[in-house]
Amino acid sequence: MDRRRFLGTAGALGVTAALPGCATTARSGNEDQRLRALLDRIFYQRLQASPETATSLGLDQGERAHLRFLLNDESASSRTREQARARGELDQLRTIDRARLSADAAIDYDVVEYGLNTAIRGARFSYGAGGDRYT
């Protein structure tokens, strides 16, 4: 693993690990709840697509125990699927009315939106970690 990929992976793991706890409780109502549900869904879908991440976070237990014995798919077709997933996640995120979020949830929204935009824009580069699923 080259240094760029390692740094990109390490940084993204921190963001990804924080996703389930990012959104605040439903102080501001329905939009905060919708954001929390979406971030949780994104997090757990990404765990399924990245068994090595699940193992490194200690989340390869219970219903995800089978992930312990799998490796990430690093094929070109997997990268294409990951880019499509990022675009879909961004589309889903944008269905949430940011103006109706609490201050904490709005920050979570901005962080995730920035990360997804960065991953999508980075896909045009075929080197480094700019376009892979960890950016």
Give pLDDT tens digits along the chain (135 positions): 555 555 566 566 666 655 555 544 444 579 999 999 999 999 999 999 999 999 999 999 999 999 999 999 988 898 899 999 999 999 999 999 999 999 999 999 999 999 999 999 988 887 655 444 544
Instruction: Read off the pTM.
Output: 0.71
Contact in structure between 39 and 23 (CB atoms under 8 Å): yes
Q: Where are the alpha helices (DSSP H) in the chain?
A: 3-22, 30-49, 51-56, 76-93, 103-122
| Closest C-alpha among 67, 78, 71 to residue 44 | 67
What pLDDT does residue 130 have? Answer: 47
Contact in structure between 119 and 85 (CB atoms under 8 Å): no
Contact in structure between 61 and 47 (CB atoms under 8 Å): no
Measuring CA to CA, how many Å separate 8 from each of 25, 99, 115, 122?
29, 31, 11, 12
